[in-house]
Structure 1
């Protein structure tokens, strides 16, 4: 089984479980150069908040956009924007990625920013 197919299979099972919970979803996309995070409504129809290393306010002061420091800054930014949109509780959708490295750094920074997983 190819690596991406396995990741998408894991993501599918996670999203079906999150759908049953009925809470907002914090979804993460990791690329080779950047990391993106979005908070969706419980039904997934609307994006409530988003942050990424592409945005200039997040990118400022970073040596690189593809390390743990950048992911942590995205986590803090998404927590701030989600709380401003009135979201306190989210379910963490790691999109099938393993919970380590940049994904873990983003999640821990979002928790420190006030989001409850």
Structure 2
């Protein structure tokens, strides 16, 4: 019997392959995206020291109180705006976008567009 790998295993394989090339530096850190069924998370990471500089998620009060349900594209855009505002406040203007092995579509795309809209360059 042929076993088909689950979509998360395939995503992790893609993410591992992409991470060989995508690397965050102090001048241009990595904007990492993780999405679950009900929430979305974003982190700006400096890979040279392995430190998270800025993070935002749809679990935070300001987003959850505004939207209610946070597993949709609207919440993803708000998370993108929030992470961009926090990054700009820390002096980070340019980032490398790491979509985490996900297809650039739907919530991942909305998060990226929200971050660009708020002023991040990538």
Instruction: Please tell me the TM-score bracket, short chain as reference.
Output: over 0.9
Q: CA RMSD in A?
A: 1.4
- Out of 14, 19, 26, which is 1:10 matched to? 14
1:71 and 2:76 aligned: yes
Partner of 1:91: 96
- Residues 4-60 of structure 1: CA deviation (Å, up to 9, x unaligned): 1210111112211112x7430000110011100000014251111111011101222
Gaps of 5+ in 2: none
Corresponding position of 2:109:
104
In 1, the alpha carbon distance for the partners of 2:86 and 2:114 equals 13
What TM-score, normalized by structure 2, do the two folds share? 0.89
Aligned equivalents of 2:103 and 2:61: distance in 1?
27
Moved over 2 A (4+): none
TM-score (norm 1): 0.92
How far is the alpha carbon of 1:64 from its aligned partner?
Answer: 1.5
2:118 corresponds in structure 1 to 113
Q: Which has the higher helix share?
A: 1
User: Alignment length, in residue pairs?
Assistant: 116
